[in-house]
Amino acid sequence: MEPACPHFGTCGGCTLYNLPDAAYIAQKSEMLATALRRAGFADIALSKPARIGPGERRRMDLAARRERGGVVLGLHRQRSADVVDLTTCLVLHQTLVSLMPPLRELLARLQGFRRESSMVANLLDSGVDLLVRTDAPLALSDRIALTEFARTHRLPRIAWALGNDEPEPVAILRSPTTSLSGITVAPPSGAFLQASAAGEAAIISAVVAALPDEGRVAELFAGCGAITFALAQRSRVAAWEGDTASASALRTAANHAGLAGKIEAIQRDLARQPLQAKELAGFAAVVLNPPAVGAAAQVAQIAAAKPPVVVYVSCNPATLSRDARQLRQAGFMLRSATPIDQFLWSARLESVCVFSSAPAARRRAAAV
């Protein structure tokens, strides 16, 4: 039977789309089990996978290229830098899919788009927040076109950046906001948000279930607060985030919600300046949600500090395996492992793994 997606086999996204459902979810679960076995954990009892359905992804990362026939907009071809021109996507929320045709028309008119462009669209509660990156400066006519696009398609904000420069707002028609665990947050343009609301809820459920009944929580790589505000409902939280704009958004939202006494938001690049073991002393739990490259330097300090509970939220089984090995070598035990199929039909996997340190190991760490 022909796959329902016309781009399967060329688009680099849904490489597992053709698998029967039982084989598909077994393969996803095995990704996590294999990663943990490679880390040295033997008896692995995985929780039932949390599953996210089609049409739920609320973040769209697209590449664009100007070619002789027009603008190509989509994802990269498998194992290639070529861009596959998408006409539909079964994973994305329909609101984002519906923006693809007008985005092509918009890009075709931009003088600041010469050859290469990319964009990030986050579907917030207030609408689609769009960040466009181009390979040349915008002309005045480009800024007018972007503003008109925002008005026509009811986007709260469009920002622009030249290459990898910091974004600047081009049009803000209303406040770009979304709710994280009931708290209104205004994320920066192109901010990292969990790919789906259901995926975010599954992550939060697994993280909160692992927390001790009392004691402060250290949250590392906190972003705009997707997990932070849920943690603050039961614990005092010290939240560290490397991105200045995201840390500021988290701090502002916490203050506006009257949570300054429950949440301390600190900007710090944990890749270059990881929290030291002594700084982690006294926390009842450490929750970390690092980027795909993992957190090798930070996990080394966590392993040395030996907090009672470590909750590792991962989007990359390979780097999870590397970091989890450090925890095992430091005497941590694996308490639970939950696969979360947030990246539907792809070879990627989200997971939440809970580790605990032995009391004797904690006493030795405290004595150092």
User: What is the longest distance spanned by two Cα atoms in the chain?
Assistant: 68
The encoded tokens of residue 340 equal 């979360």
How far, CA to CA in Å, does 365 sit from each of 211, 270, 302? 21, 21, 11
Amino acid identity of 352? Answer: V
Q: Which of 5, 224, 315, 353 is catalytic?
A: 315
224 belongs to the catalytic site: no
Burial of 212 (0-12, 13-18, 19+ CB in 10 A): middle
Active-site annotation, residues: 315
